[in-house]
Structure 1
């Protein structure tokens, strides 16, 4: 017998978990090496997990929608020529190691063991052995006259186990509702405590107790039970849905929160007459419709040229515990392009954009947009940007005070292009205008640098032929 169990690996950037999106095989299917087994969504991208083994799928560990921790079983394969393993008795609570990111969380109902241990937290069995003696809570002394506990009298005591809870969201919900997880019977596989179990326990606790000698009421149709959590206690409104913040949305929320809390940002903006740029592109498209770059590619080329002239905006600030903060500059430019997808806002980056022409940028823009919306962009493509360009004009808005894509120091937004009255050589005319908005980290540069960069890009968009001749 040769059973191989594949553990979910670290899929990049130190990620500790992934959401199981789709199983691509079923138990009993024959698989070959490198055949995709499942699709999982990390905080960065959608990933197909291939099988390193050939044989028959024996077990799929996890259900669709479940968060799977790194280094826990994902699937098991019975290699070719092997017999199915004999059934073994299953433990009451299966042991699985929690990823490092959850090790600091408290375990409800955990009994401290007397011997030293590994310090790893096993789901269902809290093991705080790795804590120092100072970090452990002392047990209260037995006062005189207090009956001895069964263990103190030498009687056998059944070992106490912590509740089987995988999701930190479930533990958080229990704390918020004041529910002791140790007293909740899990309805999931192997006694796993689910969100519904916590909500049911809260509903039972909040139900009013019946009077001891209540009068018998006429038989009526009972009103449907309203489980706890259906009515929001703050607003008094019914709760329509609860959506856990996981995967990409969790990463976006974390980055935006960190940006707002750590970066002292300032914003400058300018209206730009892009009539000449649109006319130039229209002439090029008439002569060569297949090889004419899109408008965003032209703007990207001007942005890259501006960053080469004002490199302070193509940098990152690093804070070291040993010394002062540093502004880290780069030799090249990885231009991030904000893209709205079904999975949230993603920012893939064009690596070494300074080496590409407007046509080259246009081709790379098309490729990155396609792979990102398909969930196939690599971690490197989604995390290596040094400056972000955001075209929110496609949503029909003029401007936006964009949040800087941490840990970058600036982001440039482009609004919609509309007809507006504009003064040209002393005469009022109707022109094509857009608004550029630059949010920048005031630690990396001052307003003069930010304004100089913004003016350079605006001038390039207003007089594109003169600038493109030198690029």
Structure 2
């Protein structure tokens, strides 16, 4: 008989903590190796954490909503209560010394540090990187009683953690909803349809005290989650470190609007974002410094062999930036497919951490939110960001006559340390010219 302690593993991307979104198991449940036991939210995404052990859950550490540090105990598994895991061996005197196979997608990669407790002795092994020699340690004190854990309740089928979080925010009991998806799956639309549009936001941490500055009573205090804290820190760093400047232009996009309406990629028209991205990538080939980066000491400019194109997506968790890697190699058709795939993954909370990091230039399509213009904040450590407003009909002078045309406003926010206004204006004008004269663009033509 042995109790194996699984600690929150290394999350990658320099992340050191995660919020416990939901337990997928309860004390007394039997689990097998590689079975997800919890969902955690990092600064990048929501991921499932698989167990490296098989056996019976004897303890769960942490409450849902609690922040956990990497290396903190997550679960304890009694290998004697079920099938022992291959990693822990068949006998109580052995412990895993080989790294477990990595997993991809939205399942956590790597298992981090694990610990196996035995009667009379304790051994430790690290399951990330090369095998580690295991040394015997003095006998530990008797193990404490298992930490009590919340009892799992039965719910209708729910896959997306975003749907669960949305229901929690709106004060809905998922068990009371009828899912419209396959097999009764509860979807985001089910939650939204069950919530009155005017329902007030859930208030957390009510406080009856008064604010010293305003003399108003404090109705509530809502702590920022890990994701929101990271976003706030990055934005503050961007504004404090980058001397930014902005150029903008109104563009006659009538010809592009009409071209898009005549093109079909599969069953749908290509997105306007796909066209803008294709034009932007062509312009960045001429002005690569705007897809580069300052060195850490701000004494040199690095230019990259290619462009990892980020694009802002509004999700229930907040603004995220999925990344199309080596976007300069993709056709309009391929860009359109990647934007669809990554947008869906981001909004459903299943984008892998690697798909939300590593961009070198970002497009912010705030027109999708119904606004015409904005000076966006540069996505640190990038040096520029392109903003795209609504494509809206406006009176426009053509050949001396006022006519209705489809107009879009573009803005380019750039780091004035890497270039002057002439470079930024040239890049923005190149994008604008492509929008005004798009007919030479073919859906399957090779990238410029």
Query: Separation in 1 of the partners of 2:399 and 2:207?
Result: 68
User: Contact 1:274 / 1:461 at 8 angstroms: preserved in 2?
Assistant: yes
Q: Compute the TM-score of the two structures, normalised by the length of structure 1.
A: 0.66
User: Contact 1:44 / 1:247 at 8 angstroms: preserved in 2?
Assistant: no
2:331 paired with 1:357: yes
Corresponding residue for 2:53?
53
Corresponding residue for 1:182?
none
User: Contact 1:336 / 1:348 at 8 angstroms: preserved in 2?
Assistant: yes
Query: Separation in 2 of the partners of 1:16 and 1:319?
Result: 22
Query: Separation in 2 of the partners of 1:284 and 1:371?
Result: 25
2:225 paired with 1:246: yes
2:286 paired with 1:309: yes
Alignment RMSD (CA, Å): 1.8
Which structure 2 segments of 5+ residues have no match? 84-205
User: Contact 2:207 / 2:218 at 8 angstroms: preserved in 1?
Assistant: no
User: Contact 2:414 / 2:424 at 8 angstroms: preserved in 1?
Assistant: yes
2:239 paired with 1:260: yes
User: Contact 1:54 / 1:80 at 8 angstroms: preserved in 2?
Assistant: no
Corresponding residue for 2:406?
432
Partner SS, residue 419 of structure 2: coil
After superposition, the C-alpha distances for 1:214-254 in whole angstroms (9 at most, x for unaligned) are: xxxxxxxxxxxxx9762212211121221222311011101
Corresponding residue for 2:43?
43
Query: Separation in 1 of the partners of 2:224 and 2:302?
Result: 32
Give the 5 Å matches for 1:382-397: 382-397=356-371
Alpha-carbon distance, 1:387 to partner = 0.4
Partner SS, residue 227 of structure 2: helix
2:294 paired with 1:294: no
Alpha-carbon distance, 1:383 to partner = 1.5
Could you say if the C-alpha distance between residues 462 and 229 of structure 1 is closer, same or farther in structure 2, counting changes exceeding 3 Å?
same
Which of 182, 199, 211 lines up with 1:232 in the alignment? 211
Moved over 6 A (4+): none
Query: Separation in 1 of the partners of 2:352 and 2:299?
Result: 30
Query: Separation in 1 of the partners of 2:14 and 2:430?
Result: 39
Bigger Rg, structure 1 or 2? 1
2:71 paired with 1:71: yes
User: Contact 1:306 / 1:457 at 8 angstroms: preserved in 2?
Assistant: yes
After superposition, the C-alpha distances for 1:328-385 in whole angstroms (9 at most, x for unaligned) are: 1100100001001111110011000001011100000011111111222222221110
Corresponding residue for 1:276?
255
Alpha-carbon distance, 1:292 to partner = 3.7
2:386 paired with 1:412: yes
Query: Separation in 2 of the partners of 1:304 and 1:257?
Result: 28
Alpha-carbon distance, 1:41 to partner = 0.5
Could you say if the C-alpha distance between residues 46 and 82 of structure 1 is closer, same or farther in structure 2, counting changes exceeding 3 Å?
closer
After superposition, the C-alpha distances for 1:267-307 in whole angstroms (9 at most, x for unaligned) are: 0000011110011111124xx66264211111111111111
Which structure 1 segments of 5+ residues have no match? 84-226
2:296 paired with 1:319: yes
RCO (CA 8 Å, sep 6+): is it higher in 1 or 2?
2
Aligned residues: 323
